[in-house]
């Protein structure tokens, strides 16, 4: 009987050790729970707030749109990501006549021909609480194969260090081309992703398919 009791105690002690070990190991890379079963916030090495699941964190959607197509895409992105919208508005807004690229005397054609005229002043390039955004979507129409230049002022005026930047554009037929890369060079900071071109009349489902591919939603 004494031998049996000793053996039983040994077995119970071993089982306790195994359970304790299993409960403590292998929590790396996964969220942990506190003693009461609630979620513990994962810590970053520098103690800053971690980026939300999906890795995109809080989202800002900045765009310029002369005739509303890019604006529609920007709206879809902001709605799907719970992002903040910010429209880039030129001090001297483009009229229909200004945008008539078939007319070589039009404003936009003159700017196309002469790079020095492309410095388009914006009403504002300053984003409230800029530091709080982890990801910046930047949208524009394609003009002669590149990003419409009214976005340049915003890119030049801001520091994208520590942010993920995702260009998107609308166009009649041209692709994204070098537009994102050229803006990345102009910015000089930020982690720029490839980006995406949408047709002028992009639908909400076109946009959500892309956001799903990116893993943003
Ligand atoms: C000045 C100008 C230049 C354009 N150049 C191109 C181009 O090179 N390739 C293209 O596919 N579409 C071009 N487009 C068409 C626009 O990219 C397209 O209509 C876009 O969806 C407009 O976006 P928005 O409504 O946001 O301004 C041009 C339009 C304008 C006004």
| Model pLDDT for residues 126-168, shown as the tens digit of each residue | 999 999 999 999 999 999 999 999 999 999 999 999 999 999 9
Which has the closest alpha carbon to 187: 172, 209, 166?
Answer: 166
- Cβ(66) – ligand 1 distance below 6 Å: yes
From atom 2 of ligand 1, which residue's Cα is the shortest distance away? Answer: 143
pLDDT at site 51: 55
The 10s digit of each residue's pLDDT in 86-123 is 999 999 999 999 999 999 999 999 999 999 999 999 99
Q: Which two tokens stand for residue 34?
A: 């506190």
Domains observed in the chain? 59-214 (3.40.50.360)
Query: Ligand 1 mean position to 86 CA, how many Å?
Result: 20
CB hemisphere CA count around 100 (13 angstroms): 9
The 10s digit of each residue's pLDDT in 13-59 is 444 433 333 333 333 222 323 333 333 333 344 444 545 446 899 99
| pLDDT exceeds 80 at position 11 | no
- Residue of 151, 172, 182 to test ligand 1 pocket, by largest number of atoms within 8 Å of CB: 172
What's the per-residue H, E or C state across 31-89? CCECCCCCECCCCCCCCCCCCCCCCCCCEEEEECCCCCHHHHHHHHHHHHHCCEEEECC
pLDDT at site 55: 82
The 10s digit of each residue's pLDDT in 158-194 is 999 999 999 999 999 999 999 999 999 999 999 999 9
Angle between helices 204-214 and 69-81 (to 10 degrees): 50
Q: Do 152 and 120 form a contact (C-beta atoms < 8 A)?
A: yes
pLDDT at site 187: 98
pLDDT at site 22: 35
Q: Output the pTM of the full model.
A: 0.80
pLDDT at site 4: 53
């Amino acid at each position: 009987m004494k031998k049996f009791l000793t053996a039983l105690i040994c077995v119970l002690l071993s089982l306790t050790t195994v359970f304790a070990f299993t409960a403590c190991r292998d929590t790396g890379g996964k969220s942990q729970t506190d003693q009461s079963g609630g979620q513990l916030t994962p810590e970053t090495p520098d103690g800053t707030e971690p980026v939300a699941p999906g890795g995109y964190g809080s989202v800002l959607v900045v765009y310029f749109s002369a005739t509303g197509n890019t604006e529609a895409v920007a709206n879809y992105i902001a709605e799907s990501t719970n992002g903040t919208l910010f429209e880039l508005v030129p001090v001297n807004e483009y009229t229909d006549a200004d945008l008539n690229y078939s007319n070589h005397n039009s404003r936009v054609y003159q700017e196309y021909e002469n790079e020095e005229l492309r410095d388009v002043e914006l009403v504002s390039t300053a984003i409230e609480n800029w530091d709080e955004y982890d990801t910046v979507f930047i949208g524009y129409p394609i003009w002669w194969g590149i990003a419409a230049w009214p976005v340049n002022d915003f890119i030049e005026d801001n520091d994208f260090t520590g942010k993920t930047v995702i260009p998107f554009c609308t166009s009649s037929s041209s692709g994204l081309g070098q537009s994102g890369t050229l803006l990345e060079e102009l910015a000089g900071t930020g982690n720029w992703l490839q980006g995406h071109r949408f047709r002028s009349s992009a639908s909400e489902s076109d946009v959500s398919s892309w956001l799903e591919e990116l893993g943003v939603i």
